[in-house]
Amino acid sequence: MRRFLTKLAITVAALFVLAYGLDWLITKNLRHSDARMFHTYNAIYNDSLQCNALIMGSSRGQVQYSTRIIDSITGLNSYNISVDGRCIDAEVTIYNFYRRHQHKPKVIIQNIDWGTLQMSNGYEREQYLPYLRKDNDLYQEIKEREDFSWADHYLPLMRYAGYHETIKEGLGLKAKMARPKNIERGFIPTDKEWDGAAFRAINALGFTVNDEAVEIFDRYLQRCKQEGIEVVMVFAPFYIGATEKMGSNADTMFALYQGFADKYGYPILNYTYDSVSYDTLNFYNASHLNRRGAEQFSLKLAQDLKNLLQ
């Protein structure tokens, strides 16, 4: 019996050593991966971004705000930390991660729209995995929201269970993870042409908010105000046909955000009815500008920002 227990202990110890070794290798490689899912977190963690302005939002922030154009006109040095497929909870999470590793920005350009004040649905939860064990603040912030257990935080390899493509990426095997082309300090231009199929299938668009998301947004703006960070809230162009399908919901949305603007003294720039919003050549779907539209919008935004900040 004693001999058996000794062998069992040795086997368990060997498995733990192997697990920790694999965890270290996978995590190390993912922290230097150029896959889109990990790109922004890795840039924040590994690079000295030396930026004084941040662009924040969901995918609408990621593909529509050209850092190159905005910086060339305003004189800012910006980085786009928008999070694909996510709402304000995840946007604030990556901002908090940024603040733990980079300098405080002077300006935040915050994209706002019909989807901002909702809670994320767990899309691309893998983006947190390389930093979940190392960054206890990150774990504490998202553990309940993203359904991470204590084992995911403390035990090797547990958080990678079921994420086969992520494991392949971490082991240096052939992976199918998307990699952005021509990325410009977090801005990912898209060269797709208009596809209105999804837009035509929707009869009406609603605007709903989540109470927890509203609280997160309010605390975030309050913190920025206390720290002397200028926040400029922006309604980026949305295809006008989709805005029309919102009906009176659009006015409700504008009024809610105006309440935040009044409370904290932050300006709102609204491009909902800008000429860019009326031309499908500027969009690849009803809520996302393509490269052509993003560049036109960014030129207008940059000039307005320049005048506003001066």
Whole-number mean pLDDT of the chain? 93
pLDDT value for 143:
96
CATH of the domain at 191: 3.40.50.1110
* pLDDT tens string 216-243: 999 999 999 999 999 999 999 999 999 9
CA nearest 141: which of 102, 95, 99, 93?
Answer: 93
| Domain, as residue range, for 199 | 49-120+179-309
Residue 78 lies in a domain: yes
Which residues are registered as beta bridge partners of 55?
80, 109
The answer, yes or no, to whether residue 5 has pLDDT greater than 80, is no
The answer, yes or no, to whether residue 3 has pLDDT greater than 80, is no
Residue 22 lies in a domain: no
Judge whether 297 and 276 are in contact, CB under 8 Å.
yes
Which residues are registered as beta bridge partners of 269?
234
Looking only at the bridges linking them, the beta strands covering 53-56 and 107-111 are parallel
Residue 224 lies in a domain: yes
Residue 150 lies in a domain: no
Residue 15 lies in a domain: no
CA-to-CA distance for 298 and 285, rounded, in angstroms? 18
Residue 146 lies in a domain: no
Residue 169 lies in a domain: no
Judge whether 39 and 9 are in contact, CB under 8 Å.
no
Residue 184 lies in a domain: yes
CA-to-CA distance for 30 and 169, rounded, in angstroms? 7
Q: How far is CA 293 from CA 193, 221, 270, 307, in A?
A: 11, 29, 16, 22
Total domain count, the chain? 1
pLDDT value for 204:
82
Judge whether 54 and 109 are in contact, CB under 8 Å.
yes
Q: Where residue 6 falls among pLDDT bands split at 50, 70, 90?
A: low
